């Protein structure tokens, strides 16, 4: 009921982007950003081959910082996420609430049951083409590139989506986002922005490498038969090592912690991180295998989506060490 009510609020607040742009009461800043998004939406169809429909052709003003708050949870000694199942989306590794208080209450209940929990605000989401999703005011907190990136990401969910496989879905959409931003910046000749974008992606890859290392250290601990007190001690030590390594990497790059890095690191936070990027190297490899042809890339991704989960995992190409593949200079995620 809360999901239906929240979705209805978003839909009823939609206004045509063209009407908002032409309204003299609209601020120049909002007009400029909506024009940029309109241009990016056309680009998503003409260059990226993403769905040509009414999604992201309207705008909804919401009176809050985020549209939903997602709750992630995992057992104290496991990196397997708790899943929630829904009629349309299937089973996913998080539960979304249109109220922060509701999300916090759910998280507190799960913590009382012994789960590691994290709550994260979400500025945009996709209804998989079931509704004409609007651009949301909550998205306007981002800079131009992040704004365009999330537009490509959410539209990608309308191309390929597999019930019960959140990691596959999110990693595919992140790959499309990544490819799309590179092509967008290349088409506009924005080399300085491209340099900054690539640097940010490479830093994110370095952080992801640290997360993978921590997961590999934690898994044998969780599977062992040692007593609970010792297991908790080792867990704290490994997570503290990760926190220290992340802080050092950020300091080396002159960056401050943001997003998933700003809270206590636990199993749920690790899951929320790898959900969006855990299979990203495989999709990068798939794109290169298709010789950077998006039609081929989408077809191959759809073929993978049609497989059962075991066959899909086996068929995903290896790409663990692959850097950001693109048409410019073979370099290479939030």
List, for residues 136-153, the tens digit of each pLDDT value.
Answer: 999 998 899 999 999 999
Tell me the percentage of the chain whose pLDDT exceeds 90. Answer: 66
pLDDT score, position 197: 87
Say how far apart CA 327 and CA 283 lie, in whole Å.
16
pLDDT tier at 257 (50, 70, 90 boundaries)? low
pLDDT tier at 70 (50, 70, 90 boundaries)? very high
Q: Are 299 and 170 a contacting pair, CB within 8 Å?
A: no
pLDDT tier at 256 (50, 70, 90 boundaries)? confident
- Spatial CB neighbours of 211, under 8 Å, sequence gap ≥ 6: 242, 270, 273, 274
pLDDT score, position 326: 35
Q: Is pLDDT of 331 > 50?
A: no
Q: Bigger pLDDT: 95 or 204? A: 95
Q: Is pLDDT of 192 > 70?
A: yes
Q: Specify the range with the lowest mean pLDDT, choosing from 37-41, 78-82, 236-240, 273-277.
A: 273-277
pLDDT score, position 208: 86
Q: What is the mean predicted confidence (pLDDT) over 240-253?
A: 90
Q: What is the mean predicted confidence (pLDDT) over 101-124?
A: 95
Say how far apart CA 161 and CA 176 lie, in whole Å.
13
State CA 332 to chain mean position distance: 17
pLDDT single digits (tens) 279-314:
888 999 999 999 999 999 999 999 999 999 999 989
pLDDT score, position 258: 60
pLDDT tier at 262 (50, 70, 90 boundaries)? low
Instruction: Look over the chain and give the mean of its residue pLDDT values, rounded to a whole number.
Output: 89
Whole-prediction pTM value?
Answer: 0.83
């Amino acid at each position: 009921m809360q999901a239906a009510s929240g979705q209805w609020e978003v839909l009823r607040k939609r206004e045509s982007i063209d009407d908002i742009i032409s309204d003299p009461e609209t601020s120049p800043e909002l007009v400029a950003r909506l024009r940029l998004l309109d241009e990016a939406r056309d680009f998503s169809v003409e260059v990226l081959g993403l769905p040509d429909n009414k999604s992201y052709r309207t705008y909804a003003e919401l009176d809050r910082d985020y549209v939903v708050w997602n709750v992630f949870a995992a057992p104290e000694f496991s990196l397997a996420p708790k899943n929630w199942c829904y009629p349309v989306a299937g089973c996913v590794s998080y539960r979304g609430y249109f109220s922060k208080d509701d999300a916090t209450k759910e998280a507190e209940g799960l913590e009382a049951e012994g789960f590691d929990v994290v709550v994260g605000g979400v500025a945009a989401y996709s209804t998989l083409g079931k509704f004409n999703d609007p651009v949301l005011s909550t998205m306007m907190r981002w800079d131009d590139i992040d704004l365009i990136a999330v537009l490509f990401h959410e539209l990608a969910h309308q191309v390929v989506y597999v019930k019960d496989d959140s990691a596959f879905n999110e990693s595919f959409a992140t790959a499309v986002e990544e490819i799309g931003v590179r092509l967008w910046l290349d088409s506009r000749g924005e080399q300085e922005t491209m340099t900054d974008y690539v640097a940010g992606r490479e830093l994110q890859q370095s952080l992801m490498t640290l997360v993978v290392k921590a997961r590999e250290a934690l898994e044998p601990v969780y599977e062992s038969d040692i007593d609970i007190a010792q297991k908790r001690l080792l867990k704290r030590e490994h997570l503290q090592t990760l926190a220290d390594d992340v802080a050092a990497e950020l300091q080396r790059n002159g960056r401050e912690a943001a997003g998933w890095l700003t809270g206590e690191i636990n199993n749920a936070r690790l899951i929320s991180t790898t959900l969006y990027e855990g299979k990203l190297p495989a999709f990068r490899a798939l794109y290169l295998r298709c010789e950077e042809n998006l039609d081929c890339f989408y077809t191959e991704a759809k073929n993978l989506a049609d497989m059962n989960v075991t066959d899909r995992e086996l068929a995903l190409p290896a790409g663990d060490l692959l850097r950001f593949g693109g048409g410019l200079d073979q370099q290479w995620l939030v």
